[in-house]
Amino acid sequence: MTIKKHQAGISLIELMIAMVLGLFIVSGLLYVYLGSKSSYSTQGAVARVQEALRFGFEYLAFDLRMAGYSGCANVRESQTYVIANPPVPQFGLGGTLRGYENGSGWTTPTGWPSRVAGTDVLTVSALDNSCGANITTKSPTNANLKIDPANTCGFQPNEVLMVTDCRRADVFRPTSVSSGGGVTTLAHANNFNTAPKLISEEIPTYGSYDVDAFIARVTGWTYYIGINNRGNPALYRGRYDGAAPEELVEGVYDMQIEYGLDTVDDTVFIANQYLPASSINAPSLAPHWGQVVSAKVTVRARSEADNLVPDSKTYTYNSNTANNVTDRRYRQSFTTVIGLRNLVQ
Q: Nearest CA to 338 among 284, 274, 265?
A: 274
Report the C-alpha gap between 131 and 9 in whole angstroms: 88
pLDDT of residue 298: 93
Please name the residues in contact with 189: beta carbons below 8 A apart, sequence gap of 6 or more: 143, 175, 197
pLDDT of residue 13: 77
pLDDT of residue 94: 77
pLDDT of residue 112: 96
pLDDT of residue 327: 80
Using CA atoms in the order 118, 295, 240, 184, what is the torsion angle rounded to 10 degrees? 180
pLDDT of residue 210: 83
| Three-state secondary structure of the chain | CCCCCCCCCCCHHHHHHHHHHHHHHHHHHHHHHHHHHHHHHHHHHHHHHHHHHHHHHHHHHHHHHHCCCCCCCCCCCCEEEECECCCCCCCCCCCCEEEEHHHCCCCCCCCCCCECCCCCEEEEEEEEEEEEEEEEECCCCCCEEEECCCCCCCCCCCCCEEEECCCEEEEECCCEEEEECCEEEEECCHHHECCCCCHHHCCCCCCCCCCCCEEEEEEEEEEEEEECCCCCEEEEEEECCCCCCEEEEECEEEEEEEEEECCCCCCCCCCCEEECHHHCECCCCCCEHHHEEEEEEEEEEECCCCCCCCCCEEECCCCCCCCCEEECCCEEEEEEEEECHHHHC
Span 268-308, pLDDT tens digits: 788 999 999 999 987 667 788 888 999 999 999 888 877 77
Question: Which residues are registered as beta bridge partners of 250?
Answer: 234
Mean pLDDT by 10 residues, the chain (345 residues): 61 76 77 65 76 88 90 78 86 85 93 94 92 83 80 92 86 88 81 67 62 90 95 93 92 93 81 92 79 92 78 70 71 89 76
pLDDT of residue 242: 87
Cβ count near 89 (within 10 Å)? 25
Pairing assessment for the beta strands 252-261 and 331-339 based on DSSP bridges: unpaired
Report the C-alpha gap between 304 and 249 in whole angstroms: 12
pLDDT of residue 165: 86
Reported pTM = 0.82
Report the C-alpha gap between 53 and 70 in whole angstroms: 29
**Is 258 in contact with 296 (CB distance < 8 Å)?**
yes
Q: Nearest CA to 315 among 254, 260, 244?
A: 254
Please name the residues in contact with 207: beta carbons below 8 A apart, sequence gap of 6 or more: 200
Please work out, in degrees rounded to the nearest 5, the angle formed at the alpha carbon of residue 90 by the alpha carbons of 87 and 93: 170
pLDDT of residue 108: 94
